[in-house]
């Protein structure tokens, strides 16, 4: 347990400050030296030269979400594993490493079970046996029925 | 034997593990699930045998018990009193015997179920429930305090609900399971109240602590709503027994429980569900005694025994006869508790479990064979049976032995235990005038039991087949390991000498070397509450320091009484035993005359006693009482009252009144008429409907945020009352 | 400056903001944002109390588990939202008033 | 007190004198002020060097690719075309700044900030040397993971705010790719944390040595695999080829920054190049011995006592040697990154996800268990130590 | 001095972000404001000597939850264009209108008063001691996680597994006639 003071976090603030200053500064400086000739065509978004159709903010495939879901579970479990990993060496040296090892193994085992589940259910496949398209079709059929 | 977690926990954990595993795999591999259920049950039975061996063959001490606990949760000191609940085991001779009975019966029922349920669509899931059911009962037997008893008690309630409603596609099964669940719930609520009363008084729910508290007078001088607390809690807990063991006012659910598959009926009626209630009352016997409610218990037992026996007289469904006989026999047990025959009541619990399991399984065997090709269903009606003993010799032997046992024929277990209850009832009746009625009811019920059981036997197995086509289609039974072997094993244990060293159980006609054979009445004694005051609880893992205190029990021919009392008691028991034998044979004789010789016509009796017959047919109107009076009058009464306000006041005075005024006003003025009709009559009604609509719609909108706001409001009000 | 009352004040503001968001917004995801704010205020409170009153680390453990629960809650909650959207094509909370589809 | 660049300088007498002087003049304890100034200056240096690295990165990329493709590459501006990046920078500043009409202006403006801020914040713990590291936080690696996840948000917002379909696809791809590959990265880092027993970079590096057999890279078989898993995943996290799907020019025009022009685009590019450097630095620190110099050449008692260099120059010399060691390894890795880019073809999206979830994640979980087992069974000794012990014991036994 | 600066800036970020979430009418914007608020809270953890918590906050929230929310927004985008529901009743705008805000402010006011009252009571009764110095908490948390709270540690993994399975089952688009069995 080492004591410290908050000055250790000073560079973080300073560096983030630099990032802000750089962006704002460069844009402000640029404002004086760069051209500014807005035109209607220039301000449309690029869609291979055609007029853009609709907005881009349409709904995406659910596989993005399922992957993010698997990720967040792994992320949280990783965050929980860090402190345990840190004290592993210390506990090992005082001879009670087995307990930590076993609890870590259990933890990883459960993590693995989740991975295996998602794998077996095809959540990790990007190209799935089903598609949003067919899902929508089926939903529409149901609606009609 | 050392009682560590390694050799106690498997008894309950194995069936429970089987339940958990099977619940997941049963859909995929039902055969494997069934095998797992049976094997874990067998292992559990082996462990129970070890416990039994230790208690009965090694220790052999009436006072010996094992009590190991760890703290489950500790609420700290509340008003200076410790409030904690331990979890652990309490094993004494009674638990050890009951444990053996439960696991043994359950094992046999498991094996039989592999035969009975084999062609069922939900073959596997039946075993899932069976495992859980058995595990719950084992947990209840092992429990060391009332709260964990309650936990397993409720678990069993759930299992019985699922098993009774196992054929949920049948409407009757669903209703029956609901009925069983709701009826036992009434008792459970009182049981919980009793637990809370005890807990709030002595700060613990452990049996040991309760015994010690009774001995040290911790219950004295406390009252609840004017009743002494000890009486209050005794009554509350006994109400739990009434619900679970289907005693007099709440017996309505048990006959309906036969909607479940027959093996599950065997489990409910014999080993688990109903036994739990009696077991609880036996466990809490010191409380009942201290509360002074034994007379009440005796009356309830006598009434149940008699009433159920009378209803059983006229049943035509083979399982219904058995169901009512169960209620009747449970009545005997409760009667035994009421008259102080602690040991006999428990012995009857065990013997009844064995022969009733056998009876139900035999009935299952019969029903399974009788397949009606027209309705594609099994036949349970006795009028369509008859003459089956040629087709099913093994089932017949098993059922006959059990009938002898339940009817109380000498040499059979039922005689040993029932005779002792009746003997003690007679003894009480001679001493106290108030106890005459239960004893008389008990003796009459004994007569009726013998009669209706033999009636059932004769109708089923003797005479000519009444439904020829059905008889033709029935295959001849061959000895099979999972159909007849379980029955025959149970049949062996319907003999009396396993339980008693003497013929009658009262030590009247003794076998040689009776000291070692009277183990049952030697080992199982009323708990002596004084002994528990000195006891300090022991945690798991600590070695038991009390071993040296326990002497080997000795057979006492006088059962702890003085010579003169014993002489008197023996005298009375002689009379009781002789009466029992006469009664049993008389019942057999009547049945024989009616159904074999056909000398006496049953029809004559039913027409002669037609009002009573009708009462019996509708089961003493209890279902009507509950459904028509309590539910319809009580709960629907409220409804009706509101409807009356609606129709009686609103319609009569506002609508009809409007009409009168209308008619009157029509004559006076057309304008006036229109005014009244339009504004008051039509718009007024519409407006009031709309108003209530708005109110109801706002409350029941299904809008989560509205619920959330209500939650916040409740929370706020809670905070304000708290701070 | 760095004292218990100031932390309580901050967590109070977070809590009230979360509450307002939860009730005022009709978008289910926005409501979940409010839930996250409330969970954060609770976690912050734990950390503040453990620093200023208990001076052990139990509050940190508690906050850690709150963060974990929040993650799990967000995952399941958003899954429900997406499922709901697939069925109803709406994430308006007032469309979710019926138990049956 | 955490060691940081301030604590390194605070040991030098001139610094202490300056603090004392300032305290005298200003009338209050100015150690915080002095620390701030030192941090500010150090950060300024680091940021500028990093900007230079980013700029030179573009040059190196073009030059190396030219080399690999047997052509010359930029060679007009400055010697060997070295100043090409300055010309590019000037061009960027002079470009017109266009915000699409349909874009979400607020998010469009703030998106580069997330990228650049996240990357810059990671610089705070990047261990250049034992002294010249901005700060050695106790939770160093974990902190780095946290702030670098801001980049994913930035990329997503960049794609979202443009309201262009190419950008949106790129942003979604980028975010899902970054979060996916964060899992093997995290698990690989935990592998090292188990063996080193600390999250702080100085401790992780301190437990390693200057020579390759003392590195975690060659510590045991699991860390060897773990390094490759980490390196591959890190490539994907920085959207480098062959994992440059978010900006795949043949599919998505230019991915999430299609609509960004001028300086705004430059910030995205800068952030990406710095991030590559940071990731290489982290790989060096975790697996390749970090700033450790072989044969303890940089240690004070060697320089001061054995060689007789005076105190102050010895300290500086030691730090320079360490920085040299770190930067050399990092640049080497950087070269490998560029080399890979121009060697391997781009993956398809489904291959990308398959690689992450079906290969790297299980492998890194296996590594994690293996490293834990190694720690438990062999007390965290490296395979070489074990071999040496074995040899000794065998030799001693006879 | 710097302690106060970091505290103030973090608090400003946290509170500002939270209030912006309240007033923002754009879902994506409010998500970003939430992100800012979360970063602010992470800074507050730093001032509370909870460095590990701060980093966890960053890793889990910034890297995980917020991304998840952004994805969910994208997956459900293009939905708030209907102003009437299936029954033809005009819906309240998704991000609330004056009525809902007044409602919520009233509720929050009542709740806030109650909470304030409670906080006041607590404040009077607790005595604040000398603050311990800032120290690293990772090792202590790790020790606690494998000793006192080992059950919670293991169970949390099961909880997360449950969340994963549950959420995957819910979110997965399902077909009755799946192509591959």
Q: How far apart are CA C51 and CA D319, in angstroms?
A: 38
* CA B723 from centre of chain: 47
Q: How far apart are CA D87 and CA B561, in angstroms?
A: 116
Strands B223-224 and B538-539: unpaired
Ordered DSSP codes for B346-361: HHHHHHHHHHHHHHHH
More confident of the two residues B72 and C98: B72
Nearest to D4 by CA among B5, B320, A10, C92: A10
Of A59, A76, A139, Cβ closest to residue C68: A76
- Chains contacting C (3 or more CB pairs within 8 Å): A, B, E
CB contact under 8 Å between A30 and D93, yes or no, is: yes
pLDDT digits (tens, 9 = 90+) for B616-642: 777 777 777 776 666 666 666 666 676
- Give the mean pLDDT of D10-21: 76
Q: Chain E 73-132, CB below 8 Å of chain C: which residues?
A: 73, 75-76, 79-80, 82, 85-86, 91-96, 100-101, 103-105, 107-108, 111-112, 115-116, 119, 123, 126, 128-129, 131-132
Residues B374 and B418 occupy one common structural domain: yes
D81's tokens: 């075309």
Residues B314 and B443 occupy one common structural domain: yes
Domain boundary among B272, B289, B306: B289
Domain boundary among E53, E77, E101: E77
Residues B582 and B454 occupy one common structural domain: yes
What are phi and psi for residue A122, nearest 5 degrees? 80, 15
Encode D334-359: b = buried (16+ Cβ within 10 Å), e = exposed: beebbebbeeeebbebeebbbbbbee
CB contact under 8 Å between D372 and A7, yes or no, is: no
Encode A109-120: b = buried (16+ Cβ within 10 Å), e = exposed: ebbbebbebbbe
Residues B645 and B673 occupy one common structural domain: yes
Domain boundary among B289, B324, B355: B289
pLDDT digits (tens, 9 = 90+) for D181-217: 888 999 999 888 888 888 888 888 888 877 888 888 8
pLDDT digits (tens, 9 = 90+) for B119-161: 887 888 888 888 999 999 999 999 888 888 998 999 988 888 8
Look at residue B281 and tell me if it is in a domain. Answer: yes
Asked whether the predicted pLDDT for residue E40 surpasses 60, the reply is yes
pLDDT digits (tens, 9 = 90+) for B539-576: 665 655 555 456 666 666 666 667 777 778 778 888 88
Asked whether the predicted pLDDT for residue B43 surpasses 90, the reply is yes
Say if E and A touch: at least 3 Cβ pairs within 8 Å. Answer: yes
Mutate to test the interface with E, among B24, B698, B707, B709 (most CBs of E within 10 A): B709
What is the structure's pLDDT at D252?
Answer: 73
C-beta of residue D182 within 8 angstroms of C-beta of residue A75: yes
What is the structure's pLDDT at B105?
Answer: 92
Residues B443 and B592 occupy one common structural domain: yes
- Out of A109-113, B694-698, D162-166, D297-301, the most confident range is A109-113
Q: How far apart are CA E63 and CA D154, in angstroms?
A: 11
- The domain segmentation of chain A, as residue ranges, is 62-144
Q: How far apart are CA D226 and CA D217, in angstroms?
A: 8
Residues of A with CB under 8 A from a CB of C: 59, 62, 65, 69, 72-73, 75-76, 79-80, 135, 139
Contacts of B5-10 with C-beta under 8 Å, sequence gap 24+, read B5/B540, B5/B541, B7/B47, B7/B50, B8/B47, B8/B51, B8/B68, B8/B89, B8/B91, B8/B142, B10/B43, B10/B44, B10/B47
Confidence of residue B662 (pLDDT cuts 50, 70, 90): low
CB contact under 8 Å between B704 and C96, yes or no, is: yes
Residue of E nearest to D146 (CA): E59
B500 has which bridge partners? none
What is the structure's pLDDT at E180?
Answer: 38
CB contact under 8 Å between C93 and B704, yes or no, is: yes
Q: Chain D 89-128, CB below 8 Å of chain E: which residues?
A: 104, 106-107, 110
- Give the mean pLDDT of D132-153: 84
- The domain segmentation of chain C, as residue ranges, is 4-95
More confident of the two residues D140 and D394: D140
- Give the mean pLDDT of B13-25: 87
B548's tokens: 């040296």
Asked whether the predicted pLDDT for residue A1 surpasses 80, the reply is no
CB contact under 8 Å between A72 and C71, yes or no, is: yes
What is the structure's pLDDT at B722?
Answer: 65
Asked whether the predicted pLDDT for residue C4 surpasses 60, the reply is yes
Domain boundary among B271, B289, B307: B289
CA atoms within 13 A on the CB side of C10: 32
More confident of the two residues D104 and B621: D104
C-beta of residue E39 within 8 angstroms of C-beta of residue E1: no
Confidence of residue B106 (pLDDT cuts 50, 70, 90): very high
Residue D3 DSSP label: -
CB contact under 8 Å between A65 and C82, yes or no, is: yes
pLDDT digits (tens, 9 = 90+) for D371-395: 888 888 887 778 788 888 888 877 6
E15's tokens: 């509170």
Number of domains in chain B: 3
- Give the mean pLDDT of B73-82: 69
Asked whether the predicted pLDDT for residue B673 surpasses 60, the reply is no
Q: Is the dihedral of CA A42, A43, A47, A52 positive or negative?
A: negative
Q: How far apart are CA C25 and CA C70, in angstroms?
A: 20
Mean pLDDT across chain B: 81
Ordered DSSP codes for B562-580: -HHHHHHHHHHHHHHHHHH
A7's tokens: 């000055």
Confidence of residue B44 (pLDDT cuts 50, 70, 90): very high
What is the structure's pLDDT at B635?
Answer: 64
- Chains contacting A (3 or more CB pairs within 8 Å): C, D, E
Residues E1 and E72 occupy one common structural domain: yes
- Chains contacting E (3 or more CB pairs within 8 Å): A, B, C, D
- Give the mean pLDDT of E128-138: 71
What are phi and psi for residue B81, nearest 5 degrees? -110, 140
What is the structure's pLDDT at B314?
Answer: 83
More confident of the two residues C64 and E107: C64
Q: Is E55 on the interface with C (CB under 8 A)?
A: no
Q: How far apart are CA B8 and CA B50, in angstroms?
A: 10
Percentage of residues in chain B with pLDDT exceeding 70? 81
Contacts of E159 (CB under 8 A, 6+ apart): C68, C69, C72
- Give the mean pLDDT of D156-172: 82
Residue of D nearest to E30 (CA): D107
pLDDT digits (tens, 9 = 90+) for A19-57: 888 888 877 887 788 777 777 777 777 776 677 766 666
What is the structure's pLDDT at B334?
Answer: 92
What are phi and psi for residue B378, nearest 5 degrees? -90, 150
Q: Is E46 on the interface with C (CB under 8 A)?
A: no
Q: How far apart are CA B16 and CA B44, in angstroms?
A: 10
C-beta of residue D208 within 8 angstroms of C-beta of residue D284: no
C-beta of residue B159 within 8 angstroms of C-beta of residue B132: yes
Mutate to test the interface with C, among E13, E22, E99 (most CBs of C within 10 A): E22
Of A59, A65, A80, Cβ closest to residue C68: A80
Interface confidence, given as ipTM, is: 0.61
CB contact under 8 Å between C94 and B709, yes or no, is: no
Burial (Cβ within 10 Å: 0-12, 13-18, ≥19) of residue D243: buried
Residues of E in contact with D112 (CB under 8 A): none
Confidence of residue D81 (pLDDT cuts 50, 70, 90): confident
Q: Chain E 82-141, CB below 8 Å of chain D: which residues?
A: 136, 138
B21 has which bridge partners? none
Of A13, A106, A134, Cβ closest to residue E175: A134
Residue of C nearest to B697 (CA): C97
What is the structure's pLDDT at B136?
Answer: 92
Residues of D in contact with E138 (CB under 8 A): 138-139, 142, 199
Residues of D in contact with E66 (CB under 8 A): 153
Burial (Cβ within 10 Å: 0-12, 13-18, ≥19) of residue B441: buried
Weakest mean pLDDT among B277-281, B611-615, C61-65, E111-115: B611-615
Report in angstroms the alpha-carbon separations of A106 from A81, C64, D314, D362, E156. Answer: 11, 19, 50, 16, 12
What is the structure's pLDDT at E179?
Answer: 37
Say if D and B touch: at least 3 Cβ pairs within 8 Å. Answer: no
Of C53, C57, C92, Cβ closest to residue E141: C57
Please report which helix (H) or strand (E) contains residue B315, including its range: none
Residues of C in contact with A62 (CB under 8 A): 82, 86
Does the domain spanning C4-95 belong to CATH 1.10.287.3510? yes
∠ Cα B139 B141 B147 (to 5°): 70
- Give the mean pLDDT of E27-48: 88
Residues of A in contact with C67 (CB under 8 A): 76, 79
Q: How far apart are CA D327 and CA D133, in angstroms?
A: 13
C-beta of residue C31 within 8 angstroms of C-beta of residue C18: no
C-beta of residue D256 within 8 angstroms of C-beta of residue A56: no
Report in angstroms the alpha-carbon separations of B509 from B271, B405, B410, B415. Answer: 30, 18, 11, 13
Mutate to test the interface with C, among A64, A69, A78, A143 (most CBs of C within 10 A): A69
CB contact under 8 Å between A123 and E168, yes or no, is: yes
Q: How far is C94 from chain B (nearest CA, A)?
A: 6
Report in angstroms the alpha-carbon separations of B561 from B264, B521, B523, B556. Answer: 42, 14, 16, 9
Asked whether the predicted pLDDT for residue E105 surpasses 80, the reply is yes
Residues B389 and B457 occupy one common structural domain: yes
Report how many Cβ contacts below 8 Å link chain C to chain E. Answer: 238
D106's tokens: 């607020």
B217's tokens: 């007078």
Number of domains in chain E: 2
Residues of E in contact with D179 (CB under 8 A): 63-64, 67
Please tell me the pTM assigned to this model. Answer: 0.64
Confidence of residue E127 (pLDDT cuts 50, 70, 90): low
Of A61, A99, A110, Cβ closest to residue E161: A110
Mutate to test the interface with C, among A57, A59, A76 (most CBs of C within 10 A): A76
Q: How far apart are CA D116 and CA D127, in angstroms?
A: 19
Architecture of domain A62-144: Up-down Bundle (1.20)
Mutate to test the interface with D, among A10, A49, A58 (most CBs of D within 10 A): A10
Ordered DSSP codes for C39-83: HHHHHHHHHHHIIIII-SSHHHHHHHHHHHHHHHHHHHHHHHHHH
Owning domain of residue E26: 1-77
Asked whether the predicted pLDDT for residue B683 surpasses 50, the reply is yes
Say if A and D touch: at least 3 Cβ pairs within 8 Å. Answer: yes
């Amino acid at each position: 347990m080492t004591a410290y003071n908050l000055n250790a976090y000073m560079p973080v603030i300073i560096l983030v400050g630099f990032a802000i200053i750089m962006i704002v500064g460069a844009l402000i400086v640029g404002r004086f030296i760069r051209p500014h000739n807005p035109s209607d065509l220039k301000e449309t978004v690029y869609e291979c030269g055609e007029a853009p159709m609709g907005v881009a903010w349409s709904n995406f495939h659910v596989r993005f979400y399922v992957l993010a879901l698997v990720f967040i579970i792994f992320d949280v479990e990783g965050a929980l594993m860090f402190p345990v990993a840190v004290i592993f060496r210390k506990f090992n040296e005082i001879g009670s490493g087995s307990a930590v090892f076993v609890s870590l193994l259990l933890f990883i085992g459960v993590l693995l079970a989740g991975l295996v589940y998602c794998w077996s259910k095809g959540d990790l496949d990007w190209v799935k046996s089903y598609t949003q398209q067919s899902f929508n079709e089926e939903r529409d059929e149901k609606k009609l029925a | 034997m050392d009682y560590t977690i390694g050799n106690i926990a498997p008894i309950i954990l194995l069936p429970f593990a089987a339940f958990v595993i099977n619940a997941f795999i049963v859909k995929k591999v039902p055969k494997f699930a069934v095998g797992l259920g049976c094997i874990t049950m067998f292992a559990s039975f082996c462990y129970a045998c070890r416990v039994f061996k230790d208690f009965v063959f090694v220790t052999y001490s009436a006072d010996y018990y094992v009590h190991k606990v760890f703290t489950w949760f500790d609420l700290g000191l509340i008003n200076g009193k410790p409030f904690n609940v331990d979890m652990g085991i309490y094993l004494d001779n009674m638990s050890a015997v009951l444990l053996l009975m439960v696991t043994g019966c359950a094992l046999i029922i498991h094996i039989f179920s592999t035969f009975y349920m084999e062609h069922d669509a939900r073959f596997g899931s039946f075993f899932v429930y069976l495992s859980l059911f058995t595990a719950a009962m084992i947990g209840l037997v092992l429990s060391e305090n009332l709260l964990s008893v309650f936990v397993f008690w409720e678990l069993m309630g759930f299992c019985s609900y699922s098993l009774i409603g196992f054929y949920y596609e049948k409407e009757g099964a669903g209703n029956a399971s609901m009925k069983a669940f709701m009826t036992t719930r009434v008792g459970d609520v009182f049981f919980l109240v009793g637990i809370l009363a005890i807990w709030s008084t002595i700060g613990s729910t452990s049996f040991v602590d309760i015994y010690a508290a009774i001995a040290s007078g911790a219950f004295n001088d406390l009252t609840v709503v004017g009743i002494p607390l000890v009486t209050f809690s005794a009554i509350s807990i006994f109400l739990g027994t009434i619900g679970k063991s289907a005693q007099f006012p709440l017996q309505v659910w048990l006959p309906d429980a036969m909607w479940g598959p027959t093996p599950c009926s065997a489990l409910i009626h014999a080993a688990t569900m109903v036994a739990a209630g009696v077991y609880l009352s036996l466990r809490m016997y010191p409380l009942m005694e201290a509360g002074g409610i034994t007379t009440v218990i005796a009356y309830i037992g006598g009434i149940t025994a008699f009433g159920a026996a009378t209803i059983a007289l006229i049943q035509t469904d083979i399982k219904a006869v058995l169901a009512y006989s169960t209620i009747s026999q449970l009545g005997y047990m409760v009667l035994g508790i009421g008259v102080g025959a602690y040991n006999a009541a428990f012995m009857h619990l065990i013997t009844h479990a064995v022969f009733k399991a056998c009876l139900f399984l035999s009935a299952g065997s019969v029903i399974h064979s009788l397949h009606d090709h027209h309705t594609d269903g099994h036949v349970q009606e006795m009028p369509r049976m008859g003459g089956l003993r040629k087709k099913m010799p093994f089932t017949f032997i098993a059922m006959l032995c059990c009938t002898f046992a339940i009817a109380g024929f000498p040499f059979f277990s039922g005689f040993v235990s029932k005779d002792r209850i009746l003997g003690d009832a007679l003894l009480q009746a001679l001493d106290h005038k108030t106890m005459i009625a239960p004893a008389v009811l008990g003796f009459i019920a004994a007569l009726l039991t013998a009669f209706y059981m033999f009636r059932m036997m004769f109708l089923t197995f003797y005479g000519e087949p009444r439904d020829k086509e059905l008889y033709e289609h029935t295959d001849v039974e061959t000895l099979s390991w999972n159909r007849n072997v379980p029955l025959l094993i149970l049949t062996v244990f319907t003999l009396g000498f396993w339980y008693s060293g003497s013929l009658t159980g009262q030590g009247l006609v003794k076998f040689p070397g009776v000291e070692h054979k009277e183990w049952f009445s030697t080992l199982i004694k009323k708990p002596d509450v004084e002994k528990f005051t000195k006891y300090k609880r022991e945690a798991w893992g600590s070695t038991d320091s009390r071993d040296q205190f326990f002497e080997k029990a000795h057979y006492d021919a006088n059962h702890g009484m003085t010579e003169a009392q014993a002489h008197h008691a023996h005298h009375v028991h002689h009379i009781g035993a002789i009466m029992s034998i006469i009664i049993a044979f008389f019942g057999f004789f009547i049945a024989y005359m009616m159904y074999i010789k056909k000398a006496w016509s049953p029809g004559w009796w039913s027409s002669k006693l037609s009002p009573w017959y009708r009462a019996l047919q509708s089961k003493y109107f209890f279902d009507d009482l509950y459904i028509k009076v309590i539910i319809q009058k009580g709960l629907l009464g409220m409804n009706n009252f509101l409807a009356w306000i609606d129709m009686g006041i609103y319609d009569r005075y506002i609508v009809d009144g409007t009409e009168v005024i209308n008619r009157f006003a029509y004559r006076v003025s057309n304008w006036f008429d229109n005014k009244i009709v339009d504004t008051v009559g039509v718009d007024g009604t519409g407006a009031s409907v709309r108003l209530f609509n708005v109110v109801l719609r706002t409350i029941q909108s299904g809008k989560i945020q509205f619920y959330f706001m209500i939650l916040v409001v409740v929370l706020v009000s809670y905070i304000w009352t708290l701070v | 400056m760095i004292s218990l009352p100031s932390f309580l004040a901050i967590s109070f503001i977070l809590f009230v903001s979360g509450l307002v968001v939860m009730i005022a917004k009709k978008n289910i995801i926005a409501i979940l944002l409010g839930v996250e704010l409330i969970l954060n205020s609770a976690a912050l409170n734990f950390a503040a109390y453990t620093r200023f009153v208990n001076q052990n680390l139990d509050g940190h453990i508690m906050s850690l588990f709150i963060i974990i629960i929040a993650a799990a809650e967000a995952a399941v909650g958003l899954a429900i939202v997406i499922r709901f959207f697939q069925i109803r094509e709406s994430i308006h909370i007032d469309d979710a008033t019926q138990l049956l589809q | 007190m955490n060691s940081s660049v301030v604590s390194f300088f605070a040991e030098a007498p001139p610094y202490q004198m300056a603090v004392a002087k300032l305290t005298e003049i200003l009338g209050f304890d100015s150690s915080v002020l002095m620390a701030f100034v030192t941090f500010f200056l150090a950060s300024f240096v680091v940021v500028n060097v990093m900007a230079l690295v980013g700029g030179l990165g573009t040059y190196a990329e073009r030059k190396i690719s030219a080399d690999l493709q047997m052509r010359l590459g930029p060679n007009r501006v400055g010697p060997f075309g070295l100043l090409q990046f300055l010309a590019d920078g000037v061009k960027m500043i002079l470009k017109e700044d266009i915000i699409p009409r349909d874009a979400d202006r607020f998010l469009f403006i703030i998106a580069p900030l997330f990228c650049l801020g996240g990357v810059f914040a990671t610089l705070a713990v990047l261990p250049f040397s034992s002294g010249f590291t901005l700060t050695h936080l106790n939770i160093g690696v974990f902190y780095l993971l946290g702030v670098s996840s801001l980049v994913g948000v930035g990329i997503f917002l960049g794609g979202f705010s443009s309201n262009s379909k190419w950008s949106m696809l790129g942003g979604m791809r980028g975010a899902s790719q970054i979060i996916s590959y964060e899992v093997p990265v995290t698990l690989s880092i935990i592998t090292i944390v188990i063996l080193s027993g600390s999250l702080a970079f100085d401790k992780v590096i301190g437990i390693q040595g200057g020579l390759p057999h003392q590195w975690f890279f060659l510590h045991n078989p699991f860390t060897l695999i773990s390094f490759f898993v980490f390196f591959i995943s890190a490539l994907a996290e920085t959207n480098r080829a062959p994992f440059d799907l978010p900006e795949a020019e043949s599919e998505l025009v230019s991915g999430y920054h299609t609509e960004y022009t001028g300086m705004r685009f430059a910030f995205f590019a800068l952030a990406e190049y710095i991030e590559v450097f940071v990731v290489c630095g982290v790989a060096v620190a975790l697996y390749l011995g970090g700033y450790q110099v072989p044969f303890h050449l940089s240690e004070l008692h060697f320089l001061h006592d054995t060689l007789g260099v005076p105190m102050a120059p010895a300290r500086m010399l030691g730090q320079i040697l360490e920085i040299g060691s770190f930067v050399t390894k990092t640049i080497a890795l950087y070269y490998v990154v560029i080399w890979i880019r121009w060697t391997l073809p781009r993956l398809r999206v489904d291959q990308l996800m398959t690689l992450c979830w079906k290969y790297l994640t299980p492998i890194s979980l296996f590594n994690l268990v293996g490293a834990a087992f190694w720690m438990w069974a062999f007390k965290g000794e490296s395979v070489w130590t074990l071999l040496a012990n074995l040899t000794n014991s065998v030799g001693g036994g006879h | 001095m710097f302690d106060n600066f970091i505290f103030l800036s973090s608090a400003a970020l946290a509170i500002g972000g939270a209030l912006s979430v309240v007033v923002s009418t754009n879902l994506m914007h409010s998500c970003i404001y939430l992100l800012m608020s979360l970063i602010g809270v992470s800074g507050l953890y730093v001032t509370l000597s909870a460095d590990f918590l701060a980093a966890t906050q960053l890793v889990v929230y910034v890297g995980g939850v917020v991304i998840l929310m952004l994805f969910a927004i994208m997956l459900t985008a293009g939905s708030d264009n209907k102003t009437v529901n299936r029954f033809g009743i005009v819906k309240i705008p998704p991000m609330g209108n004056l009525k809902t805000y007044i409602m919520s402010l009233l509720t929050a006011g009542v709740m806030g008063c109650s909470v304030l009252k409670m906080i006041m009571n607590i404040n009077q009764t607790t005595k604040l001691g000398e603050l311990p110095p800032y120290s690293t908490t990772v090792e202590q948390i790790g020790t606690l996680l494998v000793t006192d709270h080992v059950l919670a540690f293991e169970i949390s993994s099961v909880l997360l597994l449950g969340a994963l399975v549950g959420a995957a089952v819910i979110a997965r688009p399902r077909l009755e006639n799946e192509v591959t069995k």
